[in-house]
Amino acid sequence: MSAALAWGQAPPAQSGGTQGGTQGGTPPPKVTTPDVKIPGPLTLIGPSQAEIGAQPLSITEAVNIALRKQPLVNIAKANIISAQGRVEQAASGLYPQFTANAAYQNQASIRNSGPVLDPFTASVTVSQLLFDFGRTRDQVRQQNALERSIRWDLTRTQQTTALQVKSAFYNLVQDLANVTISEDDVANRQHELDEANARMNNGLGAPVDVLQAKTNLASGAVSLSAARDTALNAQVLLAQLLGINPRTPIVPASAKEVPLDMESDIEKLMTAAMTDRPDIKSAKEQVTAASFAVSQARKGDLPRVDAVGGVNGKGPNDPFATQAAAYGLVVSWTFGNGGLTAGQVKEAIGNEDAARQTLIQVSNQAIADVGQAFVDLQSALQRLDLAQVGVANAQELVRVDEGRYEGGIGQFLDVTTAQSSLFTAKLSLTQAQGDVERARAKLRTAIGLL
Protein backbone atom coordinates (compact mmCIF):
# COMPACT_ATOMS: atom_id res chain seq x y z
CA MET A 1 0.00 0.00 0.00
CA SER A 2 1.47 3.38 -1.00
CA ALA A 3 2.67 5.71 1.76
CA ALA A 4 2.68 8.73 -0.57
CA LEU A 5 -1.04 9.52 -0.49
CA ALA A 6 -1.98 13.17 -0.15
CA TRP A 7 -2.92 14.45 3.29
CA GLY A 8 -6.69 13.96 3.80
CA GLN A 9 -7.04 11.16 1.19
CA ALA A 10 -8.67 8.07 2.69
CA PRO A 11 -6.93 4.73 2.12
CA PRO A 12 -8.69 1.89 0.30
CA ALA A 13 -11.35 0.07 2.29
CA GLN A 14 -10.21 -3.19 3.84
CA SER A 15 -12.33 -6.35 3.88
CA GLY A 16 -13.44 -7.92 7.12
CA GLY A 17 -14.49 -4.72 8.92
CA THR A 18 -13.16 -1.16 9.35
CA GLN A 19 -10.30 0.29 11.34
CA GLY A 20 -11.70 1.74 14.55
CA GLY A 21 -15.30 1.24 13.31
CA THR A 22 -18.01 -1.31 14.08
CA GLN A 23 -19.42 -4.33 12.22
CA GLY A 24 -22.73 -4.43 10.33
CA GLY A 25 -22.95 -0.73 9.40
CA THR A 26 -23.33 0.52 12.97
CA PRO A 27 -22.88 4.32 13.07
CA PRO A 28 -19.51 5.38 14.43
CA PRO A 29 -19.46 6.69 17.99
CA LYS A 30 -19.53 10.44 18.53
CA VAL A 31 -17.06 12.52 20.51
CA THR A 32 -18.97 14.94 22.73
CA THR A 33 -16.09 16.88 24.31
CA PRO A 34 -16.11 20.69 23.89
CA ASP A 35 -14.62 22.21 20.77
CA VAL A 36 -11.36 24.11 21.05
CA LYS A 37 -11.68 27.88 20.54
CA ILE A 38 -8.50 29.59 19.37
CA PRO A 39 -8.01 32.93 21.20
CA GLY A 40 -7.29 36.04 19.18
CA PRO A 41 -4.05 38.03 19.50
CA LEU A 42 -3.68 40.52 22.34
CA THR A 43 -3.28 44.19 21.57
CA LEU A 44 -1.84 47.06 23.60
CA ILE A 45 -3.40 50.36 22.60
CA GLY A 46 -0.70 52.98 22.57
CA PRO A 47 0.55 56.14 20.86
CA SER A 48 1.44 56.50 17.23
CA GLN A 49 4.79 55.36 15.92
CA ALA A 50 5.96 58.93 15.27
CA GLU A 51 8.75 58.55 17.81
CA ILE A 52 10.48 55.84 15.80
CA GLY A 53 9.58 56.75 12.23
CA ALA A 54 8.93 54.30 9.45
CA GLN A 55 8.44 50.62 10.18
CA PRO A 56 9.82 48.01 10.12
CA LEU A 57 12.44 49.32 12.50
CA SER A 58 16.04 48.34 11.76
CA ILE A 59 18.36 47.41 14.58
CA THR A 60 20.74 50.24 13.66
CA GLU A 61 17.98 52.83 13.92
CA ALA A 62 16.83 51.28 17.19
CA VAL A 63 20.29 51.78 18.67
CA ASN A 64 20.46 55.35 17.34
CA ILE A 65 17.09 56.18 18.91
CA ALA A 66 18.25 54.83 22.26
CA LEU A 67 21.48 56.83 22.10
CA ARG A 68 19.39 59.97 21.59
CA LYS A 69 16.51 59.35 23.97
CA GLN A 70 17.65 56.91 26.67
CA PRO A 71 17.77 58.83 29.99
CA LEU A 72 20.85 56.95 31.22
CA VAL A 73 22.81 58.14 28.18
CA ASN A 74 21.64 61.71 28.64
CA ILE A 75 22.54 61.59 32.33
CA ALA A 76 26.05 60.50 31.36
CA LYS A 77 26.23 63.45 28.96
CA ALA A 78 25.11 65.81 31.72
CA ASN A 79 27.87 64.45 33.95
CA ILE A 80 30.41 65.58 31.35
CA ILE A 81 29.05 69.13 31.52
CA SER A 82 29.43 69.04 35.30
CA ALA A 83 33.00 67.78 34.94
CA GLN A 84 33.80 70.59 32.53
CA GLY A 85 32.52 73.06 35.09
CA ARG A 86 34.85 71.61 37.73
CA VAL A 87 37.79 71.95 35.34
CA GLU A 88 36.95 75.61 34.77
CA GLN A 89 36.65 76.19 38.52
CA ALA A 90 40.06 74.64 39.13
CA ALA A 91 41.67 76.54 36.23
CA SER A 92 40.32 79.88 37.47
CA GLY A 93 43.02 79.89 40.14
CA LEU A 94 45.66 80.33 37.43
CA TYR A 95 44.16 83.57 36.12
CA PRO A 96 43.92 87.10 37.57
CA GLN A 97 41.34 87.71 40.27
CA PHE A 98 39.57 91.08 40.29
CA THR A 99 37.77 92.55 43.28
CA ALA A 100 35.84 95.84 43.52
CA ASN A 101 34.51 97.38 46.74
CA ALA A 102 32.52 100.50 47.50
CA ALA A 103 31.24 101.74 50.88
CA TYR A 104 29.58 104.61 52.64
CA GLN A 105 30.14 104.99 56.36
CA ASN A 106 28.73 107.76 58.51
CA GLN A 107 30.07 107.82 62.07
CA ALA A 108 28.21 109.76 64.71
CA SER A 109 30.13 111.32 67.57
CA ILE A 110 29.44 109.82 70.97
CA ARG A 111 32.37 111.05 73.07
CA ASN A 112 35.61 112.71 72.16
CA SER A 113 35.38 111.75 68.46
CA GLY A 114 34.52 113.69 65.39
CA PRO A 115 32.58 112.71 62.32
CA VAL A 116 34.07 110.67 59.47
CA LEU A 117 35.60 113.17 57.08
CA ASP A 118 35.50 110.88 54.04
CA PRO A 119 32.47 108.58 54.36
CA PHE A 120 32.68 107.45 50.70
CA THR A 121 35.37 104.88 49.86
CA ALA A 122 36.02 102.63 46.84
CA SER A 123 38.76 100.26 45.72
CA VAL A 124 39.66 97.94 42.86
CA THR A 125 42.15 95.14 43.51
CA VAL A 126 43.74 92.58 41.21
CA SER A 127 45.80 89.56 42.24
CA GLN A 128 47.69 87.00 40.18
CA LEU A 129 49.16 83.73 41.36
CA LEU A 130 52.87 83.64 40.65
CA PHE A 131 54.05 80.47 42.33
CA ASP A 132 52.59 77.77 44.58
CA PHE A 133 54.90 74.85 43.76
CA GLY A 134 52.38 73.56 41.17
CA ARG A 135 49.58 72.91 43.65
CA THR A 136 46.92 74.70 41.61
CA ARG A 137 48.15 73.12 38.39
CA ASP A 138 47.91 69.68 40.01
CA GLN A 139 44.32 70.46 40.87
CA VAL A 140 43.62 71.40 37.24
CA ARG A 141 45.31 68.24 36.00
CA GLN A 142 43.28 66.17 38.43
CA GLN A 143 40.00 67.64 37.19
CA ASN A 144 41.05 67.19 33.56
CA ALA A 145 41.75 63.50 34.21
CA LEU A 146 38.38 63.13 35.93
CA GLU A 147 36.67 64.76 32.96
CA ARG A 148 38.34 62.31 30.58
CA SER A 149 37.27 59.46 32.84
CA ILE A 150 33.66 60.64 32.73
CA ARG A 151 33.82 60.88 28.94
CA TRP A 152 34.88 57.24 28.81
CA ASP A 153 32.02 56.48 31.19
CA LEU A 154 29.67 57.98 28.61
CA THR A 155 31.13 55.73 25.93
CA ARG A 156 30.68 52.69 28.15
CA THR A 157 27.10 53.73 28.92
CA GLN A 158 26.44 54.02 25.20
CA GLN A 159 27.92 50.56 24.63
CA THR A 160 25.88 49.03 27.42
CA THR A 161 22.73 50.71 26.14
CA ALA A 162 23.41 49.48 22.61
CA LEU A 163 23.90 45.93 23.90
CA GLN A 164 20.66 46.04 25.89
CA VAL A 165 18.76 47.37 22.87
CA LYS A 166 20.26 44.75 20.58
CA SER A 167 19.46 41.93 23.00
CA ALA A 168 15.88 43.16 23.39
CA PHE A 169 15.59 43.59 19.62
CA TYR A 170 16.74 40.02 18.94
CA ASN A 171 14.43 38.79 21.70
CA LEU A 172 11.49 40.44 19.96
CA VAL A 173 12.49 39.01 16.59
CA GLN A 174 12.78 35.56 18.16
CA ASP A 175 9.47 35.87 20.01
CA LEU A 176 7.63 36.97 16.87
CA ALA A 177 9.16 33.99 15.02
CA ASN A 178 7.89 31.75 17.81
CA VAL A 179 4.41 33.23 17.34
CA THR A 180 4.54 32.28 13.65
CA ILE A 181 5.72 28.78 14.56
CA SER A 182 2.88 28.45 17.09
CA GLU A 183 0.34 29.65 14.54
CA ASP A 184 1.59 27.06 12.06
CA ASP A 185 1.44 24.41 14.77
CA VAL A 186 -2.18 25.32 15.59
CA ALA A 187 -3.05 25.14 11.88
CA ASN A 188 -1.45 21.70 11.66
CA ARG A 189 -3.25 20.55 14.82
CA GLN A 190 -6.56 21.76 13.37
CA HIS A 191 -5.80 19.85 10.18
CA GLU A 192 -5.08 16.73 12.22
CA LEU A 193 -8.40 17.14 14.03
CA ASP A 194 -10.28 17.54 10.74
CA GLU A 195 -8.61 14.43 9.36
CA ALA A 196 -9.33 12.44 12.53
CA ASN A 197 -13.00 13.49 12.42
CA ALA A 198 -13.26 12.60 8.74
CA ARG A 199 -11.73 9.17 9.28
CA MET A 200 -13.93 8.46 12.29
CA ASN A 201 -17.06 9.52 10.42
CA ASN A 202 -16.08 7.21 7.56
CA GLY A 203 -15.50 4.36 9.96
CA LEU A 204 -11.76 4.35 9.35
CA GLY A 205 -10.53 5.98 12.56
CA ALA A 206 -10.99 5.57 16.27
CA PRO A 207 -12.68 8.15 18.55
CA VAL A 208 -9.54 8.22 20.63
CA ASP A 209 -7.76 9.81 17.66
CA VAL A 210 -10.25 12.67 17.70
CA LEU A 211 -9.80 13.13 21.44
CA GLN A 212 -6.04 13.14 21.02
CA ALA A 213 -6.30 15.67 18.21
CA LYS A 214 -8.49 17.96 20.31
CA THR A 215 -6.07 17.71 23.21
CA ASN A 216 -3.17 18.57 20.93
CA LEU A 217 -5.08 21.51 19.45
CA ALA A 218 -5.87 22.87 22.90
CA SER A 219 -2.22 22.53 23.90
CA GLY A 220 -1.17 24.31 20.71
CA ALA A 221 -3.63 27.13 21.41
CA VAL A 222 -2.20 27.58 24.90
CA SER A 223 1.33 27.72 23.45
CA LEU A 224 0.19 30.27 20.86
CA SER A 225 -1.39 32.48 23.51
CA ALA A 226 1.77 32.32 25.62
CA ALA A 227 3.96 33.11 22.60
CA ARG A 228 1.86 36.16 21.75
CA ASP A 229 2.01 37.37 25.33
CA THR A 230 5.79 36.95 25.41
CA ALA A 231 6.19 38.87 22.14
CA LEU A 232 4.01 41.72 23.40
CA ASN A 233 6.05 42.01 26.59
CA ALA A 234 9.26 41.95 24.53
CA GLN A 235 7.91 44.87 22.48
CA VAL A 236 7.17 46.87 25.64
CA LEU A 237 10.66 46.20 27.00
CA LEU A 238 12.32 47.25 23.74
CA ALA A 239 10.36 50.50 23.61
CA GLN A 240 11.34 51.23 27.21
CA LEU A 241 15.02 50.66 26.42
CA LEU A 242 14.70 53.00 23.43
CA GLY A 243 13.63 55.73 25.84
CA ILE A 244 10.20 56.16 24.23
CA ASN A 245 6.65 55.44 25.39
CA PRO A 246 6.63 51.70 26.28
CA ARG A 247 3.28 51.27 24.51
CA THR A 248 4.66 52.37 21.16
CA PRO A 249 4.04 49.65 18.54
CA ILE A 250 7.25 48.27 17.05
CA VAL A 251 7.68 46.03 14.02
CA PRO A 252 11.32 44.87 13.94
CA ALA A 253 13.11 44.24 10.68
CA SER A 254 15.21 41.13 10.23
CA ALA A 255 18.71 41.67 11.56
CA LYS A 256 22.03 39.92 11.93
CA GLU A 257 25.27 40.82 13.66
CA VAL A 258 28.26 41.12 11.36
CA PRO A 259 30.76 38.41 12.40
CA LEU A 260 34.08 39.69 13.72
CA ASP A 261 37.20 38.62 11.88
CA MET A 262 38.81 37.64 15.18
CA GLU A 263 35.80 36.13 16.92
CA SER A 264 37.42 32.69 16.95
CA ASP A 265 40.80 33.97 18.25
CA ILE A 266 40.57 34.41 22.00
CA GLU A 267 44.01 36.03 22.32
CA LYS A 268 43.21 38.76 19.80
CA LEU A 269 39.90 39.37 21.53
CA MET A 270 41.63 39.77 24.89
CA THR A 271 44.18 42.18 23.41
CA ALA A 272 41.43 44.25 21.82
CA ALA A 273 39.53 44.43 25.11
CA MET A 274 42.58 45.60 27.07
CA THR A 275 43.20 48.27 24.42
CA ASP A 276 39.72 49.48 23.56
CA ARG A 277 37.44 48.96 26.56
CA PRO A 278 36.24 52.41 27.70
CA ASP A 279 35.75 51.27 31.30
CA ILE A 280 39.45 50.33 31.45
CA LYS A 281 40.39 53.71 30.00
CA SER A 282 38.11 55.40 32.53
CA ALA A 283 39.73 53.49 35.40
CA LYS A 284 43.19 54.51 34.17
CA GLU A 285 42.14 58.17 34.16
CA GLN A 286 40.86 57.72 37.70
CA VAL A 287 44.32 56.51 38.72
CA THR A 288 45.90 59.51 37.02
CA ALA A 289 43.51 61.89 38.81
CA ALA A 290 44.24 60.23 42.15
CA SER A 291 47.99 60.63 41.58
CA PHE A 292 47.59 64.38 40.98
CA ALA A 293 45.43 64.58 44.09
CA VAL A 294 48.29 63.09 46.13
CA SER A 295 50.75 65.58 44.65
CA GLN A 296 48.37 68.43 45.38
CA ALA A 297 47.85 67.34 49.00
CA ARG A 298 51.59 67.06 49.67
CA LYS A 299 52.03 70.71 48.69
CA GLY A 300 49.48 71.95 51.20
CA ASP A 301 52.14 73.26 53.61
CA LEU A 302 54.23 75.02 50.97
CA PRO A 303 54.21 78.82 50.49
CA ARG A 304 52.16 80.68 47.92
CA VAL A 305 53.30 83.86 46.16
CA ASP A 306 50.82 86.31 44.60
CA ALA A 307 51.29 89.64 42.85
CA VAL A 308 48.72 92.17 43.98
CA GLY A 309 47.83 95.68 42.90
CA GLY A 310 44.98 98.04 43.32
CA VAL A 311 43.54 101.54 43.27
CA ASN A 312 41.53 103.02 46.11
CA GLY A 313 39.85 106.32 46.70
CA LYS A 314 37.84 108.26 49.25
CA GLY A 315 36.09 111.55 49.69
CA PRO A 316 33.34 113.39 51.48
CA ASN A 317 30.97 113.24 48.49
CA ASP A 318 32.92 111.46 45.74
CA PRO A 319 34.69 108.14 46.50
CA PHE A 320 37.37 109.08 43.98
CA ALA A 321 38.02 112.60 45.24
CA THR A 322 41.40 111.42 46.44
CA GLN A 323 43.05 108.37 44.89
CA ALA A 324 45.98 106.11 45.70
CA ALA A 325 47.56 103.05 44.07
CA ALA A 326 49.42 100.18 45.59
CA TYR A 327 51.17 97.06 44.33
CA GLY A 328 53.43 94.41 45.70
CA LEU A 329 53.96 90.74 46.48
CA VAL A 330 52.11 88.67 49.04
CA VAL A 331 53.61 85.50 50.46
CA SER A 332 51.21 83.15 52.23
CA TRP A 333 52.58 80.22 54.20
CA THR A 334 50.63 78.08 56.58
CA PHE A 335 53.41 76.04 58.14
CA GLY A 336 51.34 74.60 60.96
CA ASN A 337 47.72 73.50 60.63
CA GLY A 338 47.35 70.87 63.32
CA GLY A 339 47.87 67.90 61.02
CA LEU A 340 45.32 68.93 58.37
CA THR A 341 47.77 68.52 55.50
CA ALA A 342 49.02 65.18 56.81
CA GLY A 343 45.45 63.93 56.96
CA GLN A 344 44.75 65.15 53.43
CA VAL A 345 47.86 63.38 52.15
CA LYS A 346 46.86 60.15 53.84
CA GLU A 347 43.36 60.38 52.38
CA ALA A 348 44.71 61.05 48.88
CA ILE A 349 47.12 58.09 49.08
CA GLY A 350 44.27 55.82 50.14
CA ASN A 351 42.15 57.06 47.23
CA GLU A 352 45.02 56.39 44.83
CA ASP A 353 45.43 52.83 46.12
CA ALA A 354 41.69 52.27 45.75
CA ALA A 355 41.78 53.61 42.18
CA ARG A 356 44.60 51.23 41.28
CA GLN A 357 42.70 48.29 42.73
CA THR A 358 39.61 49.37 40.81
CA LEU A 359 41.67 49.32 37.61
CA ILE A 360 42.74 45.75 38.37
CA GLN A 361 39.14 44.78 39.08
CA VAL A 362 37.87 46.36 35.87
CA SER A 363 40.62 44.67 33.85
CA ASN A 364 39.78 41.28 35.33
CA GLN A 365 36.11 41.89 34.62
CA ALA A 366 36.98 42.65 31.00
CA ILE A 367 38.86 39.35 30.74
CA ALA A 368 35.89 37.52 32.24
CA ASP A 369 33.44 39.27 29.90
CA VAL A 370 35.45 38.38 26.82
CA GLY A 371 35.90 34.78 27.96
CA GLN A 372 32.22 34.34 28.70
CA ALA A 373 31.12 35.99 25.46
CA PHE A 374 33.59 33.84 23.50
CA VAL A 375 32.24 30.64 25.06
CA ASP A 376 28.63 31.75 24.59
CA LEU A 377 29.19 32.46 20.91
CA GLN A 378 31.02 29.22 20.15
CA SER A 379 28.41 27.24 22.05
CA ALA A 380 25.56 29.06 20.28
CA LEU A 381 27.11 28.32 16.87
CA GLN A 382 27.29 24.62 17.78
CA ARG A 383 23.67 24.60 18.94
CA LEU A 384 22.62 26.37 15.74
CA ASP A 385 24.14 23.60 13.60
CA LEU A 386 22.46 20.93 15.72
CA ALA A 387 19.12 22.77 15.68
CA GLN A 388 19.15 23.02 11.89
CA VAL A 389 19.76 19.28 11.66
CA GLY A 390 17.00 18.70 14.21
CA VAL A 391 14.44 20.63 12.17
CA ALA A 392 15.37 18.76 8.99
CA ASN A 393 15.01 15.40 10.75
CA ALA A 394 11.73 16.41 12.41
CA GLN A 395 10.26 17.54 9.07
CA GLU A 396 11.19 14.22 7.49
CA LEU A 397 9.69 12.32 10.42
CA VAL A 398 6.39 14.19 10.01
CA ARG A 399 6.34 13.40 6.30
CA VAL A 400 7.00 9.70 6.87
CA ASP A 401 4.47 9.29 9.70
CA GLU A 402 1.78 11.19 7.82
CA GLY A 403 2.33 8.94 4.83
CA ARG A 404 2.20 5.82 6.99
CA TYR A 405 -0.98 6.96 8.72
CA GLU A 406 -2.73 7.86 5.48
CA GLY A 407 -1.62 4.57 4.03
CA GLY A 408 -3.28 2.71 6.87
CA ILE A 409 -0.07 1.25 8.29
CA GLY A 410 0.71 3.87 10.93
CA GLN A 411 -0.86 5.17 14.10
CA PHE A 412 -2.39 8.59 14.60
CA LEU A 413 -0.31 8.96 17.74
CA ASP A 414 2.83 8.70 15.60
CA VAL A 415 1.68 11.67 13.54
CA THR A 416 0.91 13.85 16.54
CA THR A 417 4.16 12.90 18.25
CA ALA A 418 6.12 13.76 15.11
CA GLN A 419 4.31 17.09 14.84
CA SER A 420 5.19 17.87 18.46
CA SER A 421 8.82 17.05 17.75
CA LEU A 422 8.81 19.39 14.76
CA PHE A 423 7.28 22.19 16.84
CA THR A 424 9.93 21.76 19.53
CA ALA A 425 12.73 21.59 16.94
CA LYS A 426 11.60 24.83 15.31
CA LEU A 427 11.52 26.59 18.67
CA SER A 428 15.01 25.30 19.39
CA LEU A 429 16.18 26.67 16.04
CA THR A 430 14.83 30.17 16.70
CA GLN A 431 16.40 30.05 20.16
CA ALA A 432 19.77 29.07 18.72
CA GLN A 433 19.55 31.76 16.04
CA GLY A 434 18.75 34.39 18.66
CA ASP A 435 21.54 33.12 20.91
CA VAL A 436 24.09 33.53 18.12
CA GLU A 437 23.09 37.13 17.43
CA ARG A 438 22.95 38.05 21.11
CA ALA A 439 26.32 36.40 21.75
CA ARG A 440 27.92 38.30 18.86
CA ALA A 441 26.51 41.58 20.16
CA LYS A 442 27.79 40.73 23.64
CA LEU A 443 31.23 39.90 22.27
CA ARG A 444 31.45 43.22 20.44
CA THR A 445 30.63 45.05 23.67
CA ALA A 446 33.08 42.91 25.65
CA ILE A 447 36.00 44.05 23.50
CA GLY A 448 34.88 47.69 23.53
CA LEU A 449 33.10 48.12 20.19
CA LEU A 450 29.92 50.19 19.97
The answer, yes or no, to whether the previous bond of 47 is cis (omega within 30 of 0) is no
CATH class of 55-99+132-301+340-446: mainly alpha
Percent of the chain with pLDDT over 70: 90
Which region among 105-114, 236-245, 271-280 has the lowest average model confidence (pLDDT)?
Answer: 105-114
State residue 377's pLDDT score: 97
φ and ψ at 247, to 5 degrees? -90, 5
Distance CA(106)–CA(318), nearest Å, equals 14
State residue 36's pLDDT score: 85
Give the tens place of pLDDT for each residue, 287-308: 999 999 999 999 999 999 999 9
Q: How confident is the model at residue 408 (pLDDT cuts 50, 70, 90)?
A: confident
Q: How confident is the model at residue 18 (pLDDT cuts 50, 70, 90)?
A: very low
Distance CA(288)–CA(276), nearest Å, equals 18
Distance CA(294)–CA(290), nearest Å, equals 6
Give the type of residue at 424: T
* pTM, full prediction: 0.82
Burial class for 358, CB neighbours closer than 10 Å (0-12, 13-18, 19+): middle
State residue 111's pLDDT score: 65
* Axis crossing angle, helix 340-406 with helix 266-276, rounded to the nearest 10: 140
Q: Domain residue spans in the chain? A: 55-99+132-301+340-446
State residue 94's pLDDT score: 94
Half-sphere exposure of 282 (CA within 13 A, CB side): 19
State residue 156's pLDDT score: 97
For the residues 355-369, what does the mean pLDDT come to? 98
Distance CA(226)–CA(219), nearest Å, equals 11
Give the tens place of pLDDT for each residue, 154-171: 999 999 999 999 999 999
Give the tens place of pLDDT for each residue, 197-207: 888 888 777 88
For the residues 226-233, what does the mean pLDDT come to? 96
Q: Sign of dihedral through CA atoms 69, 75, 80, 85?
A: positive
